Amino acid sequence: MLSSRKRLDRAYNEAKRIPFNDRSKFILLSDCHRGDNSFADDFANNRNIYFHALKHYYSNGYEYCELGDGDELWENLSFRSILDAHKNVFMLLRAFHEEERLHMIWGNHDMVYRDPEYVNKHLSTYFDPKTDEDVELFCNIEYNEAIVLKHSESGQEIFMTHGHQADWWNYIFWRWSRFLVRILWKPLNVMGIADPTSPAKNYKELIKVERRIKKWIVDNDNRLTVVGHTHRPRFPEPG
């Protein structure tokens, strides 16, 4: 079993490299957890502000990087239910993709996307009942474990990944976690009871995950790193 350090090392070494320059513009978002618009859908209350922000970034030429857990595929059995619930959002993401401005990373809640065959089967097209035909959605889209943005002149790198590499339970045993969420925690979430296996809702686990990531960053010469997973904003001290 790989350690957190080795999992992060592998993610960095195998990351997709994207060059950028001083004129490039990127927006980074993580942990949207788009759901089925039910009471358990944490994204639903933020859908409108997310959509309008996304329209702004699209209109102004930004590239969109999503750092994992974009789709909530633990609580929901299929992507189709999520697509139907938030069709306008996905049509806008498709516009980014068609202009090669969409860069996707998989997290623990959408870890099925690490399988290219699964992605091709479920995300390439969708059935439109109005036309009775399959319509293109995200043809040839790629999901990555990590992405490195590299400045074309200075060589400065920005390493981006979801962050669950430092959370052994949700990386190694994600299928077991998914089972528990679907059977147990989704119904309880509707009643306001938090899932204790999630570092975002368990402070002790959150601190452990953050410490492992911080140690890896320090051990790698303070590599500029952006992760999600814990749902908590945290920045290094200036200087």
For 62-77, the pLDDT digits (tens) are: 999 999 999 999 999 9
Residue 116 banded pLDDT, cuts 50, 70, 90: very high
Q: Name the one residue in this structure whose structure tokens are 């993610």.
A: 11
Task: Specify if 61 maps to a domain.
Answer: yes
* Residue 112 CB contacts under 8 Å (≥ 6 apart), including other chains: 73, 106, 118
Domain count, the chain: 1
92: containing domain: 4-226
Q: List pLDDT tens digits, range 18-30.
A: 999 999 999 999 9
Instruction: Tell me the per-residue pLDDT of 145-176, one tens digit each, with 9 for 90 and over.
Output: 999 999 999 999 999 999 999 998 899 988 99
Instruction: For residue 133, tell me if it sits in a domain.
Output: yes
Compute the distance between CA of residue 233 and CA of residue 217 in angstroms, rounded to an integer. 16
Rounded CA-CA distance 37/191 in Å is 16
Question: Looking at the domain assignment, is residue 82 inside a domain?
Answer: yes
Look up the pTM and report it: 0.91
Residue 17 lies in a domain: yes
Encoded tokens for 85: 């619930």
